[in-house]
A and B are shown apart, each in its own frame.
Chain A
């Protein structure tokens, strides 16, 4: 059947099982919006107030569901507004397909109205990108884009479609099943699918000597530690099994939180600059570090030279480029965490390290809850009410407090900008996560971050997306203030937010319910009502301006030398 490019695009999205896109229209995508209008029955569109938050929404959708998110924006300013969202998804390996319109090809390169070289601008923050120059290549490009975003180490991709390509017609042949998978070399390192059947046999054959060596190293260890990151998201049960088999405690990165049950004695919590004593000290004392799906970020490592000084390092990752990038390893195994952990577990005889495990887990802090209206108590109360609901955060102290004090019990429960640390990420991401899961989502945000994305209140309100906004109002850009307190002689340069808005009036203006609370009891009541409401609402928590995130390790210091306890 003969269709125009815009219609082919929509058909291809439907082929991929896309139900929702997040976007914002403009001149260079009018043909696409026209087709969306016609296909409303098959594919829904969430109109945000700003393209950046449409991008974060698609990202949050992907993180919460594991399905690829889709975001659509117009040329020029629409496209450049996506840049922060693309970079955020890239740093956290989130599969998102970004679609942009561009000016007609005959105008490209002439500085025409709303023209921007979005392909060039985003080259270093996408896994791959395309400029579609011929409508006959469009369908294949969309199929490739979805395949690439999701295969190997996932990541954002971008398709730039000039307006003339959206209008031009060609024959469209629907595809399904195997035909949707483009013809790429199955061995391309960036595109590896989880092996099964014959491929799994072949993979096993190749990987066996590495597994054997890994087992030798593990068996020789006295104090083994597992260091698990975002790459373990889909391998939580394999992680648990291996941790038990190795009798090794588990430290998580920020992105890995939820891959092991925090109530388990094997869980030491988060490692790094704001890591727990247990995780950071175990990291420095272990003699074998099994790093899985991590990239040894400087925020996790502290001083790279002084990191895990006595340990042999085994690094398991899907992305070969992460091996020996920041930390040199004794052995590496490239592959899907789920497969490698399972194979390793099969091969490894049960180990016992009773003393070491006891020693490591005895360092776990048992916070005694009290009635003070402090971040950790608020987060404990939030957990009591929210359980295993999805929690999105913005960036700052509130993010670190959430990571430290809200016990995440399943992968994909915490949605946070780890790699790029994007203030303004949370609200869009929460909207996307809620739309994707069909469930209410909690957003923990700060007064500074919220001012970057509160424009999306109208979006949540209009679509009735139940995002429960827990706003930590400390009257400051708290995380920056904390650094000014510690390292810049308390010169609070441009971090005091003594300027409103009145968030309750704001809630009212958008037609939302809001509660301002200053005690734990009031918080508990408000959150219970908020969760019942099934609609977006704001619970504003009035916190002290000088609360700090502790523990803390100064940047570049060894991670067991805490500057705050």
Chain B
């Protein structure tokens, strides 16, 4: 069967992985634009799946910025969200290499304009009575939340897109940050589109 192929050469809308003259898509010589991509992967929910996926990425030289994994409404299936930088050829390779893993059932590359993305950050800062008000103003502006208050510290929970979390952490950098923990990005397509709604699922 012709598998689902988002890089179909006969599809005028498909991304074109290379400049017409370049022969070698891997070489660094190509000038194709490097952008951030979000890739969603449905996998069988079984031990070792995460090391298969992350092992593949490191072995083939894909630098993953973030990775998030969790079960889905189907207990046999987990969903992994990867974000990474790369040009179209890189992303095409990643998608096709992922499909070689038997545990992988479906891979999609999300279109940033037609999807929602979130990550969650917990950030603990040193804030006594003197700093508390100022910090809480920042928290309000970003519609973040205070999830723990102590005499000397505040713990903030922030969800949002990468840009937003970066911006807020940038402002908080003026304070004494004690620790930060963040999840990888998770993402869904908007509207009726679902990851399982492709040619095979």
Contacts and interface: CB of A to CB of B under 8 A. Distances in A.
A187 B200 contact: yes
Interface in A294-316: 304-309
A335 B18 contact: no
Contacts of B199: 187
Interface of B: 1-5, 7, 9-10, 17-18, 22-27, 29, 47-48, 51-52, 55-56, 59, 89, 92-93, 96-97, 99-103, 105, 199-200
B102 A192 contact: no
Interface stretch (A48-56, A123-131, A346-354, A517-525): A123-131
Nearest to B1: A187
Given A124-B56, A124-B59, A328-B25, A321 B102 contact: no
Nearest to B7: A324
Kindly list the 9 A-B residue pairs having the minimum CB-CB distance in the complex, ordered from nearest.
Answer: A321-B96, A304-B24, A187-B200, A328-B18, A189-B3, A128-B102, A206-B2, A189-B99, A187-B1
A127 to B, nearest CB: 7
A320 B52 contact: no
Contacts, number: 110
A191 B5 CA distance: 16
B2 A324 contact: no
B10 A190 contact: no
A93 to B, nearest CB: 12
Interface residues of A, number: 47
Contacts of A2: none
Contacts of A127: 100, 102
Contact of B25 (A191, A319, A325): A325
Contact of A190 (B17, B47, B48, B100): B100
Given A320-B3, A327-B23, A190 B200 contact: no
B17 A324 contact: yes
A326 B22 CA distance: 11
B24 A334 contact: no
A330 interface: yes
Interface of A: 119-120, 123-124, 127-128, 131, 148, 184-192, 195, 199, 202-203, 206-207, 209-210, 213, 304-309, 319-321, 323-332, 334-335
Contact of B29 (A184, A199, A305, A331): A305
Given A119-B48, A334-B2, A328 B89 contact: yes
A128 B100 CA distance: 9
A324 B1 contact: no
B9 A332 contact: yes
A326 B200 contact: no
A188 B92 contact: no
Given A210-B10, A331-B9, A321 B23 contact: no
A298 to B, nearest CB: 10
Contact of B1 (A195, A209, A210, A307): A195
A109 to B, nearest CB: 13
Nearest to A184: B102
A202 B1 contact: yes
Contacts of B92: 324
Contacts of A328: 17-18, 22-25, 89
A124 B52 CA distance: 8
Given A320-B99, A324-B92, A327-B24, 19 more contacts: A123-B51, A124-B56, A128-B103, A131-B48, A188-B105, A189-B3, A199-B1, A207-B2, A306-B23, A307-B23, A309-B23, A320-B3, A321-B96, A323-B96, A325-B93, A326-B25, A328-B24, A328-B25, A331-B10
Contacts of A335: 2
20 contacts: A120-B51, A123-B52, A148-B102, A185-B200, A188-B3, A188-B102, A188-B105, A189-B3, A189-B96, A190-B101, A190-B102, A202-B1, A206-B2, A213-B10, A305-B22, A305-B24, A305-B29, A308-B23, A321-B97, A324-B93
Q: Which of B9, B26, B105 has the most CB of A within 10 A?
A: B9
A494 to B, nearest CB: 30
Nearest to B52: A123
Nearest to B4: A187
Contacts of B55: 123-124
A94 to B, nearest CB: 16
Nearest to A329: B9
A124 B10 CA distance: 32
Contacts of A323: 96
Contacts of B2: 203, 206-207, 334-335
Contacts of B1: 186-187, 192, 195, 199, 202-203, 206
A320 B5 contact: yes
A289 to B, nearest CB: 11
Contacts of B200: 185, 187-188
Contacts of A192: 1, 3
A127 B96 CA distance: 14
A202 B3 CA distance: 12
Interface hub of A189, A191, A192, A203 (most chain B Cβ within 10 A): A189
B136 to A, nearest CB: 47
Residue among A306, A308, A326 with max Cβ neighbours from chain B (10 Å):
A326
A332 B103 CA distance: 25
A127 B56 CA distance: 12
A253 to B, nearest CB: 17
A332 B51 CA distance: 31
Nearest to A152: B100
Contacts of A325: 25-26, 93
B81 to A, nearest CB: 21
Nearest to B16: A328
A305 B25 contact: no
A335 B5 CA distance: 13
Nearest to A313: B23
A304 B9 contact: no
Contacts of B5: 320, 334
Which of B3, B101, B105 has the most chain A CB within a 10 Å cutoff? B3
B27 A305 contact: yes
A189 B27 contact: no
Given A123-B51, A320-B3, A328-B18, A185 B105 contact: yes
